[in-house]
Amino acid sequence: IVTVQLGCLAATTILLGSRIQRVNRRLAALAGAFAMIACGLALILNAPAVWLIAFLAVAGAGCGACNAAGSSLVSQAADPVRMASNCWGWIVIWQTAIWLATPLATEHLGGRGLGVVLAVGSLAMIPWLLHMPAGGDVAAAPKPSSGGAGAAATPSEPMTVPRALPLVYLPLMLGVAAFWLRDSLIWSLAETRGTQLAIDAAQLSRTLAIASILGIIGPVAANYLGNRGGRKARVIVALIAVALVMQLIATTDAASAYRLGFVFWTATSLFAWTYLTALAAEVDAAGRVVAMCSGVVFAASASGPLLGGILVDSGGGVGLSVAVATLSALTIAALLMVFNVAAKRGAP
């Protein structure tokens, strides 16, 4: 069911994102939100279980419409890094609230609780969606001042590449797919690996909860640092940091190191992803690439459990560490290609 929902979310985001410059973003996002509210109400009213997959598929498509419309707006910001960091900071807070509310709601209301969370959570977005810019003429965010605290996040010159060059966009989306496939793979095997290391379910749940809360450090750090030191250096250093944390989680035989890796995982991953989001926004001012990359995130996330199952069936262990290292190397190589091609085409 989750795979179907993520698949619909990914497909809608990618398809809508590829034509986002021709779409009324506000109406698309509102339609998506109302689709999620309707599905939530259907679950509350105890719609037949046979329709559950259909309802969640529609909810996924609705979320995809919101995702494509919202993600594309990062490309209109004067400082995409700051915009992306602000967005992901709020997303961490939002997701944490949803994760805390869902088990409480289902414990007291059963299946209806899921519908309540879906409907109420979607309804809460409406006031913000009503103020979303409709088209491409989005007011640019004010640039930080040259002095004071804002100086650290002063935006660099946009990296927009003319004519939507596939040599830039395709490697970027490949890198995004590898980045999130690796994350999803680690997540899907978290409990399996924890059991192998004698970590009980309660300990692992506490560790993952702490990691989720600390995840906000990543976007906050990106907001503060901005592009200081250069865009390319910042992105590659961030990717290497995530790769090292992932490799620790995949290879360690010590329970304490495994739990420590998860504590650092979310923050480092969101730190790197904030820069990747900003980069996707910068290479295409229309917002198509950043919107489609957001869809690739969910497509990769849906594929992670499948790859994890294959690795477990084949013996896990070495296979997991090799898969994580390969995906990390592919991510970094793809982003290096993006920067090299952009430089040859005259982008700053």
Query: What does each of the 348 residues of the chain score in pLDDT, given as a tens digit?
Result: 677 888 889 999 999 988 888 889 999 999 999 999 998 888 888 766 667 778 888 889 999 999 999 888 888 888 888 888 888 888 888 878 887 788 888 877 877 888 888 888 889 889 988 988 887 544 444 343 333 333 334 444 555 544 445 667 788 889 999 999 998 888 888 888 888 888 887 888 888 888 888 888 989 998 888 777 777 888 888 899 999 999 998 888 888 898 898 888 888 999 999 989 988 888 888 888 898 998 898 888 888 878 877 876 666 567 888 889 999 999 999 999 888 877 765 554
The closest of 82, 230, 61, 188 to 142, measured between CA atoms, is: 82
Burial (CB < 10 A; 0-12, 13-18, 19+), residue 184, is buried
pLDDT at 252: 87
Output the DSSP codes for 245-314. HHHHHHH---HHHHHHHHHHHHHHHHHHHHHHHHHHHHS-TTSHHHHHHHHHHHHHHHHHHHHHHHHHHT
> What is the number of other CB atoms lying within 10 angstroms of the CB of residue 169?
20
Nearest-angstrom CA–CA distance, 13 and 75 = 16
Amino acid at site 103: P
